[in-house]
Chain A
């Protein structure tokens, strides 16, 4: 039972962080760069681990942020200097980084406690078994404070949420109209890389739980559903979190019922909620179109 609570709590934080960051990616039309960073941070984790021989959260986050920012910067440079289309440039850089990460994992398989399957798909069901123990394990004087993944995403969620609360107006102006923001003296490039930092941290903290592929679903889908219905940025952020939490609950029930992967079920639920939203909107607009005829 406690395991279920840890799993749901971790999934809820992963989904909420992704939804909040995803809102800004969707509004800035940068969903693809979210996809790219979620893959290339693998290289960051592997390199950070190989260099420091540690799996501590700050080191993992640091490695991921450096590689995440490098992905964004190199994609942009390839687009400008190489005169390649921007989506092609992003596709080139992140697959390259991801592939190098995969090679490194297989080269140092003995040393790295990461298997490729887990990186790609994640396994949230195993989250409760990797816990943080404070104090002396042998003397049994310390105590277990819960899963590593939960605390990792918990810290990242706090960073994401406080960043958005503090710099809400800046992020809003930049997402709405970058040149206007620039004309007001806002450093658009800084905020771009700031957002990329948040994306990197969120994806790396979500890795254990949902893996590199499904984190994209959580970045893009709840924010997209919210985009369809929200009328203000604040509402869009709330709705994206709402959609993501609903997806977690429905997905967990679905996984329990089908006895299948929890993270995949969450992603499927998020997709279903999006389609339900679109269908509902279609029905609404048709009803509205029919109204003048009825009133005749």
Chain B
């Protein structure tokens, strides 16, 4: 017998089927398939060069896929573009570009505008609210080169927020940011989750992955494991993902042990 609600079941915000990608004839990702739940925070985790950013770019169609596809809420990317906000890695952005903070955030509204249209007052209000949400209001007229790394990251998150998407794909939002920004991102995640939105992040810090995310996708050239944190954050999966890098792995287990100790102390 079929599940009673299998027909009314809403399609997953992001479902990847048999995705393979190559870079200069070298396979980077092979046959990756997964499906994520709605309204959760999901981390893509793996060692350097494992293809985490490539996976995100392949999903967004920014780099050509050899095989496979991604569907969003059961539909193709072109039909759902406005519902998906992409936050590129901070290093990929030209921070010397002559543009101020508010204009960057307004770019989140450009997808909704016709060619000749200028942002309306509503667009500006939405952008300004996004800046306030990320506590960047005071910087709205700054040129982006005059911001710290964390502030730059918050500007890009505000841009994604202004797009009013339902699925957020972020490439290493926590990389090299200060404590205040890390807190601001966590707050943002909570707020977005309350609104039922889904967040997928490439994440590199195993110390925080269990704390910040509900779900983990382990990647190392292929899919190692995907599932809720409590099920997949195991020594075995870490071994499979980071295998061969023993010294690193030892450090990681030690770090994990320590964070668990800290947590134990915190709860005391």
Binding site for B on A (CB under 8 A): 27, 166-167, 169-170, 172-173, 175-177, 179-180, 182-186, 227, 230-233, 235-236
Contacts and interface: CB of A to CB of B under 8 A. Distances in A.
A162 to B, nearest CB: 11
Contact of B143 (A170, A176, A231): A231
Nearest to B115: A167
B98 A177 contact: no
Main secondary structure on A side of the interface with B: helix
B175 to A, nearest CB: 17
B57 interface: yes
A68 to B, nearest CB: 23
Contacts, number: 73
A177 B107 CA distance: 10
Interface stretch (B3-11, B89-97, B182-190): B89-97
A175 B93 CA distance: 11
B113 A177 contact: no
Nearest to A179: B62
Contacts of A179: 57, 60, 62, 86, 88, 92
A233 B86 contact: no
A236 B110 CA distance: 21
Interface in B68-95: 78, 81-82, 84-86, 88, 92-94
B129 interface: no
A232 B84 contact: no
Secondary structure call for the B interface: loop
B118 interface: yes
Contact of B62 (A27, A182, A185): A182
Interface residues of B, number: 31
Contact of B84 (A183, A230, A235): A183
Which 6 pairs between the two chains have the least Cβ-Cβ distance?
A184-B111, A183-B86, A185-B81, A230-B98, A179-B62, A231-B143
B100 interface: yes
Given A183-B85, A184-B107, A233-B98, 6 more contacts: A169-B118, A169-B119, A170-B115, A173-B107, A227-B98, A236-B98
Contacts of B117: 169
A176 B115 contact: no
Interface string B4-45: 000000000000000000000000000000000000000000
Interface string B35-59: 0000000000000000000000100
B103 interface: yes
A227 B99 CA distance: 11
Contacts of A173: 107, 110
A244 B70 CA distance: 48
Nearest to B97: A176
